[in-house]
Each structure stands twice: as structure tokens, then as C-alpha cells.
Structure 1
Amino acid sequence: MNNTRLYIGVETKAREFDAKLLLACFAAEAGFDTVLGQQKIFVKRLAEMPRGIWINKSISPSKTEAYKHYKKLGVILAGYDEEGLAPFNADEYKKRRISVESLRQLECFFAWGQWQADVIAERAPSEAHRVVQVGHPRVDLTRREFRAFYDDEVKKIREQYGQFLLINTNFSFYNHFHGKDGKIAMFEKAGKIADEAQRDYYLRLRDHKKTLFYEFAEIVRILRRRFPDATVVLRPHPSENHDYWREILPQDGKTHVVYEGTVLPWLMAADVMIHNSCSTGIEGYLLERPVITYRPIQAEEFENTLPNLLSEHALSREELLQKVEYYLTRDRSVELPADEEKRRIAGRYIASLDGPFSCERTVERLSHIQREAKPLEIFSYRAFVEMKRIAKGVLRRILRRQPVSTATTKRQDEYRSQKFPGISLGEIQQGLIKYQQITGRFSDLRVAQIGKNLFQFERKI
């Protein structure tokens, strides 16, 4: 049995939790001593935890020094890129999200598919051998084998909203939680803007998103007038200012701004989904649901290629209304016709659409990782880090320094809470039971809460 400790972090709960829980189940079944929890806990406290493998979230330039630190602690690093499936364009993605030195610190990197693997190989040819195409646990949940996981939620959504249009937005470059320039300010603070050309690109992207933001607000009003019996549910990106949407959209009882749970049951429940260059367009396609990309402005340098390739296109308001009318009046019991060209495109970008699940392929690769034997160096470095931590704590007590609560820190806490409202043991257990029922597997797993937002999965002996 493999009893290696495996750490799986969750940063944006609505997007990642169900998929990471599924991965934790597969890993624990394979014998890993698996810990699932909030990503920032591992960032801050991994030096205090047993050595193991940590699946991190990117290979961006800002990660390099931290990854070197974790390696000195004896942590074995692996990684995904949650944003690697649908970037705006390859050049921007290479600059902002791929660092040769960060990738070099990883034992392996799990690519969404061939496209991402090729882009990484172009940027970091010397480290391309670390890249493994497995898809992503989120892809597993779109497959027919796992859709029943959301049956109860789909039923509740339909009972509450009836016939409804789902609009997914990704306008955080303009409507960010921290203000209209909040996204760019965060990039600057994190050192993610390499030069003036990149800054100029982001400023133009912000202006593009601003135009689309107000056009989508207007199209909501138009849809409500054209289809008065249908409800419109707008689901903003997790980094957007959700309250601003609520301020500017109609308060008519049939228009709702909702950000609850993962998007998958909402896609499954909706009569049709509308987006613009949003990754939820990919998930909608994989779920075999009607998906329309509304593109009143065509600007390829600012558009995510894959969501648009896998969606129907509406280039004008009238064209959008015609397509929406078709889906509101069609017989939902009739399956959408298969599109072999779209399936071929999806297969190039996304691995594990069939055959072994992404979670299985991920765990298989992790099972072959060998722990590096440098016990004395690791022990010495961990002791040094622990002494620093203790010294800082003593200094704080001597100075009686308390955190200062300000409007800025309060707003930051609200932003973090929007992205990660917490995980309960009940949620974990409920999800585990569902996966057991769907798969007929994982019956020998047990889970225990070992800290706030921290859970350990093991096989029963």
C-alpha cells in the first residue's frame, strides 16, 4: 500500500471543491494518506506538516521562490493550472502563467490536454518531460458517469426558477471585486506585468470587457422584455463585484444574480446558457447542453478561443434572441445532435474525455513519484524555519502587536470569503456518500476533520 501523504488544496470553492473531493477519493483509494483543505493553509503551514506531495495550482513566475522553499522543506511538488484551459491567447498565457524555473521545481505537471502541453513545451522545452496530459478532475464531473452527482441540485434549481436562461460572465478585468482597475492592480502587485506592452494589453482588455459588461446588462433587459415568462439567472465570475450586477439589473422578481455552489448543476438545469469567452462554455458543451457565445464585438486578441469554438455564435442582439427562442420552445427530451468537429477540437484541448478518468490518470502518475532522500538537509531547514516562526511569535507578544482592522482589510476578507466560504465535514461526508453510490467504489474510505477547513482521507484497515 502507498501511504505517502498527499496535499490537495482548494482556492475557489465553487469551481474546485467537488472535483478536488473526487480526486481525494481516488487518491485515498490508491493508498495515499490524503489531506484536502483550503489552499492558503498549505501555503502558510506546510513547514509544520509531515512531508509529502503537494499538488499546486500554477507554474507562474511568481511561484519560483516559494517552490524552492517548499522543496527545501522536503515537499514534493506537482501541479495543475486552473486557468490553463482557456487563456485569452497563447502569448499572454506564456508570459503570465508559465515560468521555466517554476516548472523545474515540479516533479510533474498535469496538463489539460495537447494544446496546453504544446504551449508549455514551446516556452520551456528543457522541462517539457515533466508535463503529463491527464485532463482535470473537473472534466470527470462533466462525463455521463458522474452527472448523477448533481441530480438533487438540478431538481431544486428547476423547481425554484422554472424555465430559465443562464448567463455566465467573466468580466473581472472591469467589474472586479476590488474596483474597476482591481485586476490590473493585483497583477502589478504580484509582479505579473512584465513590460509596458503587457500593461497596454491589459488596459485594452479592460476597456473591451467594460463594453461587453454594459452590453450584457442591456441584453438581460432585452431578454426579459422578449421572454416575459422566462427567468434570467446571471452568474458572475467569482472575482467579480456581484453587488454591482444587482444594482444595475432589473429588480423585477424574474431576474436573479446568483453565485451558489458549482456551475455544473446550473448548466444542467438551464434551458440555454449564454456567455462570452467564458470557460463555462466548455463545461456546458461537455455536459451536452445548449450553449451560445454572444459576440457583439469580435476581437480575437481578447477572446478565449476554446469556449467560442465549442459554442453556437450570436453576433447581434437579434441573432441571439432568435437562438434563445428556439431553445425555449424546443422539446428538452430530444438530445442535441452530435457535432464531430467540435468533439475533435475538444479532444485536442482536453484529455480524458473517455477511457480512464482524469483522477485515475493523475493518481497513477503520482504513484510513481519517488521521495528524494536528503533527511539531514531537510531536517536542518525545517528546524531553521520553525525557529523563525517561534521568534516572530515571541516578538509579537513582546510588542503586543495586534492586527489593525481597516476598511481595506475588511474588503479583502470579504473577497476571500466570496471565493472560499469554508468547508464543513458534513459537506465532505455528503459528497463522499454520493460518489460511493454513483461509482460503487470508495466504501472503505474514512474521513476526519483535522483542523479548520482541513480533512484527512484514509482507507480503513
Structure 2
Amino acid sequence: MKTRASPLIIPVESQVRELDAKILLSCIAAERGFPVIMGSRAYAHFQVASVPRGIYLAKSMRGLSSSMFKILRQLGHEIVAWEEEALVHPPSETYFSLRLSPKTIKNVSHVFAWGQENVDLLRQYPALPENMPIHITGNPRGDMLRSEIRPYFAPEVEELRSRYGDFILINTNFSDVNPYIPSVGLFLPTKAPSKPARLGQSGIGMSKEFAEGLRAHKLSVLEDFKQLIPMLEQAFPELTIIVRPHPSESYQIYHQIAAKCSRVVITNQGNVIPWLLAAKAMVHNGCTTGLEAYVLDVPAISYLATLNKYYDYDFQGLPTKLSYQCFNFEELAEILSQILKGEMGAADGQERQDLIDYFLTAQKGPLACERIVDVLEASGYSKGQPPAKPLGVYLQGWLFTKLKAGLTNLYMRRPGPNRLAYHNHRFPGISVEEIEQKIARFGDLLKRFDKIKVAPYAKHVFRISA
């Protein structure tokens, strides 16, 4: 009798940031015998009771996920995880309370690390379960930066250059203080100014002191960028200025700026990688795209007109250290001018290379996706499913799944800023045909995946198999 591999559930929260990489992982897993269920994180959660016992691939281990992790385990699924935000993180004490939870991590069977720094950080966590397997595999998002994968984005790069000509890309990351919906910011809005503000989704786990300091700093930097955008347009009249807000940010303030300019475009369309490859240079402030630009050999500048060494270096230091650093507009304009003249390329040097090597593995050799599937196979998941839970435990998980799905659906449809709009902003509808086209592009590039099939599983969720 043929053994049945564990299904692999791969949730996607931010489509523009995660989807391409997770399609690649899905194809490699399916090619090696794993049935894959991939799609919107929220809608995948609605379906977990209908998926045969398998492996759920989590993108974080925050306390906010503790109830979902408990449900998954009650249903008989096992959980493997990586930490999506591990490359740009606050000092360890804040990171542990912000991004990790004893209740959540105890339900995880394996952790996939971006690199050695990620391992060193996790090993310091006081509540790390004894003998927790941490595998240095790299991350599928890192695979998308590799030289042999970059041609995947060639059509988008060509189209962007044709549409916008030469452009400077500005990537913002102010969702803490400029959130798409109020609840995901650092603090929840207060109706009474006299009442202390409660922490929002991105602040849960931070100390009040850290969160208040971060809010003040982010608001100052946001003001710097609001001034920077029109100044760049004036200083470089031959270029278009593309502003790409963070996926969790509100676009309103940027559209207000663009309305007063003639060559400023606000967009969050597609994966950031083709935008980086098409840009003449990229400007940011402590954004992960600074790291991505470095790996892609794209000139990146961290704009530090308002400098707080604690938040800019100890918290968001990696992308800044991998970029040129400018502390006023005059410095920024001068560096950009030299880049545009071809006198300067991307930031380089041995110190930066050592830094990226410490944080990011799988830059060469087997893809991170392959290494992750290697671990799944070595752990026995390709030979069978996790053991069934007692019927009472399973029924409890099934009931909680339905209850949680019902409550989430109600919450999504509340009047005003709601989760449905936020979900659709981060995971707009995508068809089977569009996913097939992406797989075909990977297949042409890597000379594989010709047997991969895609079928709808549920709304916003797909089955990928070989």
C-alpha cells in the first residue's frame, strides 16, 4: 500500500511579499510528493478542519497565534514555523515579548531559520522548548533574490521600465503610525485624549516605553519622508518618483502628496523585487527592502534625517548598515547624483558581506525551499501523516474552528474600517490561471514543474499537486 505524505498547508498573509516565494516552495514540495494547500491565511484557517492531518507552515510564533495553533494541534496537524520578521528585529528582550510566545512556540515541531543570527537569537529565548529543532535553511523569500531566480521577474522589470522610464523608488515602512486600519498600528486610537492609549496589533508585546519611543521616532521619520518626496521630484526633474508604501500602510497621505506633484506615483503593485531591479536607486529608512536591494546589487540609501541610534541601529539596523546612509537631503541628493552618473554602484565591502552572510543563508547551493523540504522528508512527513488525536480532542478542535471562522467572518464585515477590506488589500483575488502562469515561469527558468497541477480548494485557497 502506497504511503500517504502529510499535506502541507502554506498560508499567505501579504500576497505581494510572500506569494511568489510560497508558490516556489509549494511546487518543490508537490514535486517531492507532498499535497499542498496554499492560499490566503485567513481563508486557509477557515478550511483547516477539512484538510487531512498534515503540516501547517506558520510565518510567526506570536502570542496572537496561540489560539489558532491550539486548534491546529487539536485537529491533528503539526506545526512548523519560521519567523517572518527575523531579519529586522528589535533588541532581544523586546523581540522575545513581541514576536514569540511560550504558549505558541510549545506547539511548534520544527523551526526554519533565515541564517545563523536567527538561530543565535532564538537560542537565547528563555521559553524555547528543550531540544527544539532549529534548522538553518534560509527562507523562500531569500530564494527569490538569487541570481538564477531573478529572471523570473524579467517581464515585470521590462514593463516597469517601459511604463515609468528612469525612476527612484521610495519604500516606506510606517504601518506602526500610518496603518491601513487603526487596529494594526502601534496604538489604538483613543476618543478621550485624557485616557492612555492601548497597544495595537503591532505593539502587543512591547513595553509601553519602547512603543511610545518608537511611535515618536516613526512619526518624525514619516514627516521627513513627506517632505522628501516632493523635494526629490524637484531635484531630479528627469526622473519619476515611485512611492511604494508598506502593505499594511494607509496610502492616503501619499496620495495627498502625489496630487500636488506631477511625477510622483503611489503604488504597491506586485512583488517589490522587480521594482528594485527596475529602479535607478532605492530610498528607505530601516526597511527590509534595503537588505533585498543589497543582495540584488541595487543602490540603496537609508535616509536618516531624524536619527535615533537605538531605533535606527539596534532595531532596524541591518537594512541601514547594508545601505548608504544619508543624514540630510543634501547628502542624499549628492549620492543619488553620483549613482545616476554611474560613479557609484550598490553599497559593498567585506563588512557588509560578512553581515549578510551571518543573517541570510542559502545564497548559494541548494535553494532554501529545497532545504526546507529536505527537513520535512527527514522528519518522516513524506512517509505518513501525524497521528490522529482522540475523538474528543478532534471534535473540540473542529468546533473551535467553526466558531473562530464565524467570528472572523462577522468581524470582517463590521461597518467602518474592517478586516475584509484589509484582507482584500493584502490578498486580492487571484485565479488558478494566474498561479499556473507563475508556475510555468518558474518551470521555464528551472526546467522543472511540468507535472505540477493547480486546482481551487476553497475561496482564496488552492490545491497544488504533482
Both proteins in one fold, TM over 0.5? yes
Could you say which residue in structure 2 is the equivalent of 1:314? 326
Is contact 2:54-2:78 (8 Å) kept? yes
Instruction: Give, in whole Å, the separation in 1 of the partners of 2:83 and 2:218.
Output: 23
- The two structures have a TM-score, normalised by structure 2, of 0.89
Give the drift of 1:278.
0.2
Helix, strand or coil for the counterpart of 2:36? strand
Of 432, 435, 450, the match for 2:439: 432
Pick closer, same or farther for the CA change 1:72–1:372 going to 2, 3 Å.
Answer: farther
Q: Distance in 2 between matches of 1:93 and 1:212?
A: 22
CA offsets 1:8-56 (integer angstroms, 9 cap, x no match)? 1101101000000000011011110111111112323212221110101
Runs of 4+ in 1 over 6 A off after TM superposition: 388-393, 401-404
Structure 1 counterpart of 2:388: 375
Q: 1:222 to 1:180 in 2, by over 3 A?
A: farther
Question: Residue 122 and residue 4 in structure 1: after superposition, are their counterparts in 2 closer, same or farther (change >3 A)?
Answer: same
Q: Which runs of 5+ in 1 are unaligned?
A: none
Distance 1:286 1:428 in 2: 26
Query: Whole-Å Cα distance in 1 between the matches of residues 412 and 152 of structure 2?
Result: 43
> Residue 120 of structure 1: CA displacement?
1.0
| Structure 2 counterpart of 1:115, one-letter code | E
Provide the rounded CA distance (Å) in 2 between the counterparts of 1:437 and 1:270: 25
Mapped to 1, the partners of 2:373 and 2:400 lie a distance apart of: 35
- Identify which of 89, 103, 106 aligns with 2:105: 103
Identity of aligned residues (%): 29
Give me the whole-angstrom Cα distance separating, in 2, the residues matched to 1:404 and 1:292: 38
Match runs of 1:201-350 below 5 Å:
201-303=210-312, 304-330=316-342, 339-350=349-360
Structure 1 CA distance, aligned partners of 2:463 and 2:414? Answer: 35
The 10-residue stretch of structure 1 (198-207 or 146-155) with the greater mean CA deviation from structure 2: 198-207
SS in 2 for 1:318: helix
Mapped to 1, the partners of 2:334 and 2:224 lie a distance apart of 17
> C-alpha separation between the residues in 2 aligned to 1:128 and 1:351?
22
Matched residue count:
448
Compared CA separation, residues 5 and 145, structure 1 to 2 (3 A): same
- In the other structure, the counterpart of 2:369 is 359
The residue type paired with residue 244 of structure 1 is I
**Residue 47 (structure 1) aligned to one of 26, 36, 49:** 49
Residue range with higher mean Cα deviation, 413-422 or 132-141: 413-422
Structure 1 partner of 2:58: 56
Native 8 Å contact 1:134 1:362 kept in 2? yes
Offset at 1:374?
4.5
What are the within-5 Å matches in structure 2 for residues 408-423 of structure 1?
408=416, 410-423=417-430
Check the 8 A contact 1:275/1:292 in 2, yes or no: yes
Structure 1 stretch displaced more, 366-375 or 202-211: 366-375
Which stretches in structure 2 are left out of the alignment for 5+ residues? 190-197
Cα distance 1:256–1:374, how it changes in 2: closer, same or farther (>3 A)? Answer: closer
Distance 1:100 1:113 in 2: 22
Q: State how far apart, in whole Å, the 1-side matches of 2:412 and 2:421 are.
A: 16
Q: Residue 168 of structure 2: SS of its match in structure 1?
A: strand
> Which stretch of structure 1 is more off in the superposition, 180-189 or 435-444?
180-189
Residue identity matched to 2:24: L
CA RMSD, 1 decimal: 2.8
